Every structure is written in structure tokens, then in C-alpha cells.
Amino acid sequence: MDAALDTAFAALADPTRRAILAMLLEDDMAVTDVAAPFAMSLAAISKHLNVLADAGLITREKRGRVIWCKLEPDSLRAASVWMQGFGQFEPVNLEAFERFLETELSDPPPEE
């Protein structure tokens, strides 16, 4: 497995990061809005966003004084192709992924 896949799977391993991705499925969000539902500091959320950005799962863009986060939906393509090699996985369906993430959100992530 290559380093990009390692990075993507490592980013997806954390429930807080999966919850952030679920939020970004709906629309782009300002960093402060991403942080609002979590019982952790803005610095801790920023670290999670850095991991997601480093994995290519999100991008961030500064608009004025606000930093916006955007989901990169094609970023899971390599992971999907890798999983398909096992013959029992279908291509990533973003609607199914959204349902999975919503299920994950029903259990709040642990506080840091």
C-alpha cells in the first residue's frame, strides 16, 4: 500500500475526523463552525483539520478573515479502488458513506 493510502486510512481512523467529514458532506464550513459541536479547543480541531488536509480529504481556503473547509469527494477514490481488490467491496458511494458517518455521529467522539 502506498503512503497516500496509509495517510487516508489513518485520517479516517479517528471518530472526530469522521464526524468532521460528515459535516462537510452537507456544505463547506468555516473552521469555527466545524469546531462548534465538539467539546474540544479550536487548536485541537485545527490539528484534526490538518490531518484531513494532509490526507487530501479536505481543502481549506481563506476568504477574507475566515478559513473555509471543503470536502474533496474524489479523495477516497484510491482507497475505494484498493478495497475493490479484495472483491467484496463496492466503489465508494458518497450517500452510503454519509449514512455511515451519520451513524458514527450518534456516538459523540471522546473529549481530548
25: nearest Cα among 91, 78, 69, 90: 69
Cell 480529504, residue?
A: 57
The pTM for the full model equals 0.74
Tell which CATH architecture fits domain 3-102. Answer: Orthogonal Bundle (1.10)
Please report, in tens digits, the pLDDT of each residue of the chain (112 residues total): 588 889 999 999 999 999 999 999 889 999 999 999 999 999 999 999 999 999 999 999 999 999 999 999 788 888 877 777 776 656 667 777 777 777 776 765 566 5
Q: Where are the domains of the chain?
A: 3-102
- The answer to whether residues 90 and 81 touch, using CB atoms and an 8 Å cutoff, is no
